[in-house]
Amino acid sequence: MSQILTFLGKGGTGRSTLAVAAARAAAQQGRRVLLVGHQPGSGLEMLLGGIPLSGEPVTIAANLSVVQLRTTQLLEQHWTAAKELEAQYVRTPFFREIYGQELGVLPGMDQALALEALRRYDASGQYDCILYDGPGDLTTLRAFGIPEVASWYWRRASKAFLGSDLAKTLRPFVEPLLRSVSTVEFSSLEDLSNRLGGMTNIFEEGRQAIADPRRVLAHLVTTPDPMAVQTARYLWGSAQMVGLTVGGLWVMPLVPGEVSAADFSPLPVRILPRRQGSDWSALEEAVGGIFAVPQVPPPVAIDEGARTVKLFIPGFSKAQIELSQSGPELTITAGDQRRNLFLPPSLAGRQVTGAKFQEPFLVITFG
């Protein structure tokens, strides 16, 4: 199992520089490191001294490999896998008529395929740490949000569908239709839904990994520029909304000024030295503690005895947070993200009686 680190912050604050420094430091400590680049044209190659990167991991130093994710290439690989699945389950496949080499890239594919690539590198057992140098903004958080959001859509839609009049109308067609199309026997719509639902276990595993700071951790990067500081705060709160723990703030002194540590309390705030040409040693030393699991509040803490749900949402004001309840679910909207929390049985039947925002916590009380 690997430790996965990613870096959030405004563009131009030195996220890739921090990723490279952390990768070099970990490799020198003897850990097996994979640096995953995922911002085409961003200049990661330049930071690495001009080494040409490829879609397959390349070892560039002892313990240190680098890969540059290419969505077009990942899409081809996954299309081949999808064809094999189709051939296994469908009597008369038609995916085979379409070739992976002709598939264009639609929005969202980059994030879904990157997350799947990280999952695969993690599962390979070949790396102790994986450093993901992605877009570093809300786009990266959308990727890490996939497991939770996609499984919510699946559960919600299949529940609504199975109870609907539409399902009643379709029921008589389903069994004969599936029998003529599929190589597998399905006894009913519910059976089909359950079997497809089994495939969403992979989402649940992903959700748990992302929520575990020993496995996945984000770090904020900023310069003293007020706009960059504001972006870092926004992304700090936004990371909590996908269950991702933020371990610290790193300040690159690219412009004059100071960052107020109080704005990021309780995160450790560390100021990085500037890199001197091709000498990375000062930076490598400065990032030493980046892999430590931080002592910070969890994104969600449920206290069944006190009947409270405590959400850690730093970086947002009260006006930016909305809350609603529907059956066993609590829906929180903050910034431009929405999270549906399933309440434990002891709270699911109860009404919300109070919601108090004491920055950076939203404490919700049940009757």
Task: Cite the DSSP H helix spans in 182-293.
Answer: 189-198, 201-210, 226-240, 281-286
Within residues 228-267, the interface with a second copy by CB under 8 A covers 228, 230-231, 233-235, 238
Within residues 12-31, the interface with a second copy by CB under 8 A covers 12-13
Q: Residue 86 or residue 191: which is nearer to a second copy going by CB?
A: 86
User: Is residue 181 at the binding interface for a second copy, with CB under 8 A as the rule?
Assistant: yes
User: Is residue 164 at the binding interface for a second copy, with CB under 8 A as the rule?
Assistant: yes
Packing angle between helix 165-181 and helix 138-162, nearest 10 degrees? 100
Cα angle 359-323-212, degrees, rounded to a multiple of 5:
65
Q: Per-residue string for binding with a second copy, 279-318, x by CB under 8 A?
A: ----------------------------------------
Assigned token pair, 193: 């839904």
The number of residues in the chain equals 367
User: Is residue 277 at the binding interface for a second copy, with CB under 8 A as the rule?
Assistant: no
In angstroms, the CA 152 to CA 129 distance is 29
β-strand pairing of 3-8 with 216-222: parallel
- DSSP annotation of 245 reads P
Bridge partners, 219 (sequence order): 7
Q: What is the largest CA-CA distance in the chain?
A: 72
In angstroms, the CA 261 to CA 181 distance is 61
User: Is residue 77 at the binding interface for a second copy, with CB under 8 A as the rule?
Assistant: no
Within residues 92-111, the interface with a second copy by CB under 8 A covers 92-94, 97-99, 101-111
Q: Select the span of 66-74, 192-200, 279-287, 296-304 touching a second copy (CB under 8 A).
A: 66-74
Q: Select the span of 9-17, 116-124, 269-277, 356-364 touching a second copy (CB under 8 A).
A: 9-17
In angstroms, the CA 114 to CA 70 distance is 9
Q: Select the span of 25-33, 135-143, 280-288, 357-365 touching a second copy (CB under 8 A).
A: 135-143
Among 30, 81, 161, 205, binds a second copy (CB under 8 A): 161
Q: Select the span of 18-26, 116-124, 170-178, 191-199 touching a second copy (CB under 8 A).
A: 170-178
Contact 259, 249 (CB under 8 A): yes
Q: Residue 25 or residue 143: which is nearer to a second copy going by CB?
A: 143
- Other CB atoms closer than 10 Å to residue 173's CB: what's the count? 9
Q: How far is the CB of 329 from a second copy (least distance, A)?
A: 7
